[in-house]
Amino acid sequence: MRIPQLLGAALASLTLSTALQAAGVSAVPAGRLLASNCFQCHGTNGAGPGFDRLAGKSANEIFEEMKDFQAGKEGNGIMAKHAWGYTDEQLRALSTWLSQQPKTALRSAP
């Protein structure tokens, strides 16, 4: 998926969440909707397998890592591209939600 499409999906999710909250409907937390873009590499709820496990990490640590990606301190790879698409407010919501997810152990292969 290309960056503009990812940004459009994140914005649509955030807009829908805001509209549902305004209507008094219980909505999915904004951080959860934003984190849905992370599942292919970091697993559902940020609990791996794959790349870095994010579930249960400090919200500040996740936020600072994302800011480093935005600043180009980690190169110009896919994570930098993802990070550029978020505002600080969105990164805080995303980081907070991921930090609140339980760390889960991976099952060993039989």
Query: pLDDT per residue over 7-56, tens digit each?
Result: 566 556 656 556 656 666 667 877 888 888 888 888 878 877 777 888 88
Select 27-99's CATH number: 1.20.58.2240, 1.10.760.10, 3.40.50.2300, 3.20.20.140: 1.10.760.10
In the chain, what are the domain boundaries? 27-99
**Please, are residues 89 and 34 in contact by the beta-carbon 8 Å criterion?**
no
pTM summary value? 0.67
- Position 85, amino acid: G
